[in-house]
Amino acid sequence: MLTRILLAFSLISISKSQTNCRTTAWWVLMPLPKTMLQPFLDHSKEILSFNSSNPLASFMKNDEHPVYFEFNQQNQCEQSSLPPWLANLTEQTFVEFKLEIPYLINRNKTVMLKPLVYQNSALDVSATHLVYGLPSYLATMHADFDNNKYSISYKQGLVEVSFEPLTPSLLPFGSPETANFSSFVDANISPWLAFPPVSIFSHTKCASNLYKFSQPAHIRPVKMTLNIRGDIFQSIPSGIYTNIGNQPLGAWQIDVQTTITSTYQCP
């Protein structure tokens, strides 16, 4: 009972503080047809359009736009507003998937949209709903870093992902072999849209993920094979998708310290 009370207190505090985590993950940037991504924009509470002059445009066809997959495990997440002893007691480790669309235009500003989130923790699903207003769903998920595999199971849908490392070990961010990772750094500069259900002034706010790449983060390129079964990715149809890894629209394994801000008024 005491643990539940402490976790509830932690949940309330999330809306007023930053969340600090160690993120271990595979991140992928993929070019997909705009017609495939348009339903996500149509279901948003804001009027959004594709920025066709985004930094990755030269690597895609004119009718394509980048989608950003985060196959994450968030480790030892703590709330900055809590006393250290309570932050440590209520820290959370969970598996999380985020489908994100960067380089969108809203009110003449560049923003990111997070139209789909899966998490394997009921507490974190609740926090995602209540604090950020994002569409998060409780799923059965596994992140296997020893065997380079990741899976999501939700209702009748299934996602299975396998990765093939292209270097023997993770490399410090900024080393010559990691130059193509710069596209992920750039994609994370813009804030992302949040839609907290309880907001005094506006239902649409912004938030940011602040990654401490220069500490440094440790990364390496990977090849990816993604198998989607059913409508688990909504407007992205079932099928097999691949990525060769070390390119601007690539796939990378990463270990980085992360700060997730509370919501704020969009610039």
Residue 17 has what pLDDT? 74
Q: What DSSP line would sit under 52-65, residue for residue?
A: TTSTTGGGS-TTEE
pLDDT tens readout for residues 49-70: 999 999 999 999 999 999 999 9
Strand partners, 73: 24, 95
Does the pLDDT value for residue 4 go beyond 90?
Answer: no
Sorted by sequence, the CB contacts under 8 Å of residue 229 that are 6+ apart come out as 157, 158, 159, 160, 238
Residue 76's pLDDT band, with cuts at 50, 70 and 90, is confident
Domain boundaries, given as residue ranges, for the chain: 2-260
Mean pLDDT across 142-166: 98
Residue 79 has what pLDDT? 75
CA distance 101 to 37: 8
CA distance 74 to 204: 25
Residue 78's pLDDT band, with cuts at 50, 70 and 90, is confident
Best CA proximity match to 145, nearest among 220, 76, 217: 220
Does the pLDDT value for residue 9 go beyond 90?
Answer: no
pLDDT tens readout for residues 183-215: 999 999 999 999 998 755 568 999 999 999 998
* Helix or strand holding residue 221 (H, E): strand 218-229
CA distance 244 to 221: 9
Quickly name the fold that domain 2-260 has: Acetoacetate decarboxylase-like (2.40.400)
CA distance 190 to 193: 10
Cα–Cα–Cα angle for 16, 73, 231, nearest 5°? 100
